[in-house]
Amino acid sequence: MSNDDPFIQETTPSPSVATRDADPWPDPWLVLVVDDEPEVHAVTRLVLTRLRFRGRPLKLMSCLSAAEAERVLRATPDIAIILLDVVMETEDAGLRLVRTIREEIGNHAIRIILRTGQPGQAPEEDVVLAYDINDYKSKAELTSQKLFTSVVAALRSYTDIVALETNRRGLQQIIQSTDRLFELRSMQQFAAGVLTQLSSVLRVKPNAILCAQRGEADGPLTVLAGAGRYADAVDHPDHALTPEIVAGINEAFRSKRGVYGADGSTLYIRVPDGHEVAAWIHTDRPLDGVDRALVEVFASKIAISFSNVSLYERLREANETLELRVAERTRALEEANARLNRLATLDPLTGVWNRRRFLELAGAELGRARRYGRHLGIFLLDLDRFKQVNDTYGHAAGDEVLRTVVRRTREALRASDHIARFGGEEFVVMLPETDIEGTLVVAERVRASLAQAPVPVEGRLVPIAASIGVANWLADETSIEQTLRRADSALYSAKQAGRNRVERG
C-alpha cells in the first residue's frame, strides 16, 4: 500500500449489547492496530468488534505505518493493546517500534501483540527473547478465536499492571501527602490539606467537604473545611450540605467505614484521640477496589496527623492560657507588693512618710552629711491645741485639718525635703544641704503659711497654728535621734513661750 496516510477508525459499541447510560464503565479499552495492509484492519475489527471486557467495549484505532503509530502512541498514553505488524515501511519497522515504545516513550503497561505474515523474517523464539513483547501471532490466526483469547488475556494483564501502577503512585502520593500534612499545625490548614491530598490520590478535582459530627449519631454536622465548589462550606454549611452528602457522611459515622456511592465517596477517619471526621468527595465515578484500598490507607495515615494537629492546638491553647494566667498573677502580685510597700512606708491619712520610713531616710541622709561634711536641717512641727479641733468639730474635721497642714507645709518646702507624720498631730521635716539659718527660714515660712488662714471644713472655718522646734545636725551627733531630741526640746520651748512660733535648739 503506497498511501502512507494513516487512518484511525473507531468501532462504536453495539447498542444492543448495553446502552451507554446503563453502563457504569462507559470508557472503552483502546486497542491500536498497526499494519500496512488495510484488509488486516478490517478483519481484526470483525473479530473484536463485539468483544466486551469487564463491561467495557473496545475502541479500535488504526495506523498504516510504524511512524504514524509512534505519533499516536506518544499522544495517547492509555492505549491498552497494540496489535503490531513487523514488516511495514521497513523490514523491521514493527520491531523498532517495540524498542521505541518501551525505551523511548517509556510505556511499559501497554500490551504488545506482534503479528507477522512472514514468520521466517522474524523467528518467534528470537523475537520473543530479544524484544519486550507480550505475544506473537501469525497472521494466519487473524480470524481465529485465538486472537480473541489473546486480546482478552492481554487486557486482563493490562488492567493488573495499571492497577499496580495506580496503587504504587497512590501510595507514593499518600506518603508524600502525609509528610506534607505533618507539617501543618492549624486544624483549618490541615483540614484543607486533607481534601487536596485526597483528591490528588483519587485523581479527581478537589470538590470535597470535611465534617465532624456534633453530639450523638445523626447529630448536626460541623464543616471543618471545604474545597472546590464547596470552598465556602465552612461559612455556608446549609447551602453546601446537600441531602446526598449528609446521608453519605452520616452513614460513614454510623458504619465507621468508608461509604462509596455512584459519584461521591465518603472517607471515614477515626482519630486516635477518639474524635471522628468524615470527608465527602465528588468523584464522577464509583471508586474501584484499588481506589478504595488507597482511600483506606490514606484515612489510616492521616488519622495520626489529625491527632497530632489536634494535640498541637490543645497544647498551644493551654500554653496561651497558662501564659495569660502567669501574667495575671504577676500583675496581681506586683500590685499587692506596691500596696504593701505603701502601707509599710506611708501615713494612710495624709500620704506622707511614716515614722519608720522617715528614720530610714534620715539614716541615709545623715551618712551622706557625715561623709561629705554637709548640713542637714531638721524641725519638728506640732499643731497647737489640736485636741480642741477634734472636740469641737469632730474627728473628720480633724483629719481634714491634718491633710491641709501637710499640703501647706509641702508648698513651703523644696522637692528634696522630706516630710513625715511622727504622731497624732506631730510632723517632722528634714532638709538636706541646709544650714541652721536656712532651716529657720523654711520653718518660719511653714509656720506663717499655717497660721495665715483658717481651714474651711464643711462650711466652717477652723483656725490653726503650729509650734516648731528647729535643730540642725551637729558633726558630733552619731545618730539622728540625738538631733531629734534637741528639736523636741526646742518645740517644748516654743509651746512654753506661747505657741505659734519657731524655736531653735
Residue 85 contacts Mg ion per CB under 5 A: yes
CB closer to Mg ion, 87 vs 287: 87
- 426-432 and 455-457: which strand pairing? unpaired
Q: What Cα–Cα distance (Å) separates residue 92 from each residue in 84, 130, 146, 285?
A: 11, 13, 24, 42
Helix axes 355-372, 480-496, angle to 10 degrees: 110
455-457 and 418-421: which strand pairing?
Answer: unpaired
C-alpha cell read off for 85: 505488524
Choice between 68 and 85, CB closer to Mg ion: 85
Partnered with residue 470 across adjacent β-strands are: 379, 504
Least distance CB 36 / Mg ion (angstroms): 5
What's the closest the beta carbon of residue 32 comes to Mg ion, in angstroms? 15
First to last CA, the chain: 142
Residues 200-259 contacting Mg ion, CB under 5 A:
none
Binding to Mg ion (CB under 5 A): which residues in 263-302?
none
154 CB neighbour count, 10 Å cutoff:
23
Residue 503 interacts with Mg ion (CB under 5 A): yes or no: no
Q: Which pairing describes strands 466-470 and 502-504: parallel, antiparallel, or unpaired? A: parallel
State the number of binding residues for Mg ion (CB under 5 A): 3
Task: Report the residue from 80, 87, 101, 278 that binds Mg ion according to the rule CB under 5 A.
Answer: 87
Which residue, 89 or 313, is less far from Mg ion as judged by CB?
89
88 closest CA partner among 143, 41, 141, 42: 41
Instruction: State the nearest-atom distance from the C-beta of 78 to Mg ion, in Å.
Output: 26
In whole angstroms, how close is the CB of 35 to Mg ion at the nearest point? 6
CB of 89 to Mg ion, least distance (A): 9
Q: Which of 303, 314, 319 is nearest to 190 (CA)?
A: 303
- Least separation in angstroms between residue 138's CB and Mg ion is 13
Q: Which residue stretch of 86-94, 231-239, 320-328, 374-382 sits at the interface with Mg ion (rule: CB under 5 A)?
A: 86-94
Q: Which residues contact 11 (CB under 8 A, 6 or more apart)?
A: 45, 48, 49, 57, 58, 59, 60
Interface segment toward Mg ion; rule CB under 5 A; list 87-95, 147-155, 173-181, 228-236: 87-95
The distance of closest approach from Cβ of residue 85 to Mg ion in the complex, given in angstroms and rounded to an integer, is 4
| DSSP per position, 22-38 | T-S--PPEEEEEE-S-H
Of residues 121 and 300, the one with the C-beta less far from Mg ion: 121
Considering the complex, state which of residue 82 and residue 380 has its C-beta at the smaller distance from Mg ion. 82
* Closest to Mg ion by CB, 92 or 433: 92
Q: Which of residues 25-84 bind Mg ion (CB under 5 A)?
A: 36
Beta carbon nearer to Mg ion, 86 or 154: 86
What is the C-alpha separation between 460 and 457, in angstroms, rounded? 5
Residues that bind Mg ion (CB under 5 A): 36, 85, 87
